[in-house]
Amino acid sequence: MQYQFTIIVPVYNEEENLERVEKELSKYIKIATKKTKILFVNDGSIDKSQQLIEQICENNNDFTFINFKENCGLSAAISAGFNNCDTELVGYIDSDLQTAPEDFNLLLEHIEEYDLVTGVRANRKDSFVKNMSSTIANGIRRSFTHDGMDDTGCPLKVIKTDFAKKIPMFKGLHRFLPAMILLQHGSIKQIPVQHFPRIAGEAKYGLWNRLIGPLIDCFAYLWMKKKYINYTVDTKG
């Protein structure tokens, strides 16, 4: 049976988490409702992440990797994953595993009807400051994009690959994936998923990334929305 679903795992200095990532994603592959493979995208880590990724891929036929020469950011890692995906469906999960791989099955239940299905982190296990800044940032983004999504930062999504490959690349991309699908006249849905506290490694985003960065990115989104080219081929001769 051919693979149907690729899970992208962006990695940046997550050596403390990768053993658990291997264990949890290996468990998920056994219960996945679609034939699934894993694609690590190492975003220029300077710890032992790449060494561990190579060991994981050597030990598991369902795991592969891309290794960046230097750190380029989460949006670049996700974009590279989309561009290197050869399955009909693609998703991603953060390597801190604050969301549960088994919840991909909840999203996959709806992907036939929609072009993107995203998680919404229920009962978030983050600090007050992180939760509040995320709530404010999501409110700002919704006012610009009108995408109706409550939690675009949730690192658990499933997308039809044809749509994912048409998303233009820019920094901050990961915050606007539902809006990008709407620009293609696609359909989107959000589903509540589990959320857990980070138990190893360090968060890569501070208050600036969660508030000021997203606000600046909103203006970039408005520019792109105005310039975005969308077409559907009717017939070819």
Question: Which contiguous run of DSSP H or E holds residue 95?
Answer: none
Q: Which two tokens stand for residue 54?
A: 């190579």
The reported pLDDT for the residue numbered 155 is: 87
Q: Is the pLDDT of residue 224 over 90?
A: no
Report which of 198, 99, 182 is spatially closest to residue 147, judged by C-alpha positions.
182
- Dig out the tokens for 202 from the structure: 């360090």
Q: Which amino acid is at 231?
A: Y
Higher-pLDDT residue of 147 and 143 is 147
pLDDT digits (tens, 9 = 90+) for 168-178: 878 877 788 99
CA 129 to each of CA 48, 125, 133, 195: distance values in angstroms, whole numbers, following the listed order: 30, 12, 6, 17
Residues 6+ apart with CB under 8 A from 102: 27, 28, 31
Better pLDDT: 87 or 140: 87
pLDDT of residue 35: 98
In order of their start, the domains of the chain are 5-227 (3.90.550.10)
Looking at the chain, the whole-number percentage of residues with pLDDT higher than 90 is: 59
Query: Beta-carbon neighbour count of residue 227 at 10 Å?
Result: 8
Length of the chain: 237
User: Does residue 8 contact residue 92 with C-beta atoms inside 8 Å?
Assistant: yes
148: left (phi over 0), alpha (psi -120 to 50) or beta: left
Q: Where are the beta strands (DSSP E) in the chain?
A: 5-11, 36-42, 63-67, 89-93, 116-121, 156-160, 188-193
**What phi and psi values does residue 135 have, to the nearest 5 degrees?**
-60, -45
- Name the more confident of 139 and 191: 191
Pairing of strands 188-193, 116-121: parallel
What φ, ψ does residue 192 adopt, rounded to 5°? -65, 135
Query: Which tokens is 97 given?
Result: 């595993």
Which residues in 31-67 are b (16+ Cβ under 10 Å) and which e? ebebebbbbbbbbbbeeebbebbeebbeeeeebebbe
In this predicted model, what pLDDT tens digit does every residue of 54-100 receive, in sequence order? 999 999 999 999 999 999 999 999 999 999 999 999 999 999 999 99
The pairs formed by 25-32 with CB atoms below 8 angstroms and a separation of 24 or more are: 25/63, 25/101, 26/60, 26/62, 27/101, 27/102, 28/101, 28/102, 28/104, 29/62, 31/102, 31/105, 32/5, 32/104, 32/105, 32/108
